[in-house]
Amino acid sequence: MLPFGLSELSTELIISYGVKLNLLILFVHIEKTAGSTFIFILRNSFGIHHVDSLKIRNRFFTIQNLQFASKVFPTIHAISGHNIAEPTRHLKGVDAFLATFLRDPVNRCASHYQDQVLRVNLKLSFAEWILDERYQNLMVKRIAGEPDLAKAKDLLLNQYDFVGITEHFDDSLRLLNIVSPYPLRYGYMRKVVASENSIKQDLLGNAQTRELLIRYNDLDQKLYDFALNEIFYPLIEENQSQLEKIDLPGEVYRNQRRWSYQLSTGYNKFIFRPLVKLMKAR
């Protein structure tokens, strides 16, 4: 699995804006897959060289958005967000290291609903919420841009450089340590953790709601099984001897007061986002 080659587009960006586009880590952030925790690692590793794609607030982060971001950030090493979706189409031709995390889809979907109830004050019942197509087979849609399982499998196998598994988070980080184009600070702080899990447990324990979870995530289940058994486990086995030598940092941060993390969030919030608003107001 090789990253995209340097394209005419990348050369055009360099000529037009005088900004060197290094190899970019593009992180496709799927809700409730430990993505926020992984983004902590990216922010802490890259500081002001990390772009929060959600500051654009478009459905998809596109080439045009990257062109604008390249004028705001001194250099860009990583971009992450929920709107980094099907980057092989929306960011086609960019020299990129594609990464994502997948999670058991039944648990992921139950956690997603619980999160919306607890953090967004969602009032819909689960049976009503899951009928919204936006929440069905979300992993396949985020990878393929549509509910196309075959396409999602092909992209993960042939275009993605790293596919982490939430249930094997630390082993995923060890694997990333081998393949990452940049050194990363692997100590992490767990982010967006549910204050309590009773809603999720009720959904999983109830026969009717569990059946809905399975029914509306059938494509995601097939994608997860494929990624786990055809990509992740074989890579773990292939690199076992090397992985055993990798020690992750003993420190798991208890707060987010890391200078590089704060620089990243502050630059995105107080410089990048206001400039995005100004651009859209024109």
In a domain, 3, yes or no: no
- Compute CA distances 168 → 193, 215, 223, whole Å: 17, 25, 16
- Average pLDDT (128-149) is 97
Query: Residue 131 above 70 pLDDT?
Result: yes
190 or 244, higher pLDDT = 244
Nearest to 253 by CA among 169, 172, 183, 190: 190
| CATH code for position 125 | 3.40.50
Q: How confident is the model at residue 281 (pLDDT cuts 50, 70, 90)?
A: confident
- Average pLDDT (67-82) is 96
- Average pLDDT (137-166) is 97
How many whole angstroms from its chain centre is CA 206? 30
Using a pLDDT cut of 90, give the percent of the chain over it: 83
Average pLDDT over the chain, rounded to whole? 90
- Compute CA distances 225 → 31, 102, 157, 230, 248, whole Å: 18, 10, 13, 8, 26
Instruction: Quick: pLDDT tens for 41-51.
Output: 999 999 999 99
Contacts of 32 (CB under 8 A, 6+ apart): 103, 108, 111, 112, 115
Query: Residue 14 above 70 pLDDT?
Result: no
- Average pLDDT (121-138) is 97
In a domain, 83, yes or no: yes
11 or 258, higher pLDDT = 258
Tokens at 247, concatenated: 């020690």
- Average pLDDT (14-19) is 36
Instruction: Supply the pLDDT for residue 12.
Output: 40
Instruction: Supply the pLDDT for residue 189.
Output: 85
Q: How confident is the model at residue 9 (pLDDT cuts 50, 70, 90)?
A: very low
Q: How confident is the model at residue 193 (pLDDT cuts 50, 70, 90)?
A: confident
In a domain, 227, yes or no: yes
Query: Residue 203 above 60 pLDDT?
Result: yes
Please give the tally of structural domains in the chain: 1
CA distance 158 to 110: 30
Instruction: Supply the pLDDT for residue 253.
Output: 79
- Average pLDDT (181-186) is 94
In a domain, 201, yes or no: yes
Query: Residue 19 above 90 pLDDT?
Result: no
- Average pLDDT (110-117) is 97
Domain of 249? 8-281
Instruction: Supply the pLDDT for residue 21.
Output: 52
φ/ψ of 27, rounded to 5, equals: -105, 115
Q: How confident is the model at residue 280 (pLDDT cuts 50, 70, 90)?
A: confident
In a domain, 57, yes or no: yes
Q: What beta strand segments (E) does the chain contain?
A: 24-28, 50-52, 78-81, 96-102, 162-165
Q: How confident is the model at residue 190 (pLDDT cuts 50, 70, 90)?
A: confident
Contacts of 30 (CB under 8 A, 6+ apart): 82, 100, 101, 102, 103, 108, 138, 139, 142
Query: Residue 270 above 60 pLDDT?
Result: yes
In a domain, 1, yes or no: no
Using a pLDDT cut of 70, give the percent of the chain over it: 90
Sort 210 into a burial class: Cβ within 10 Å, 0-12 / 13-18 / 19+.
middle
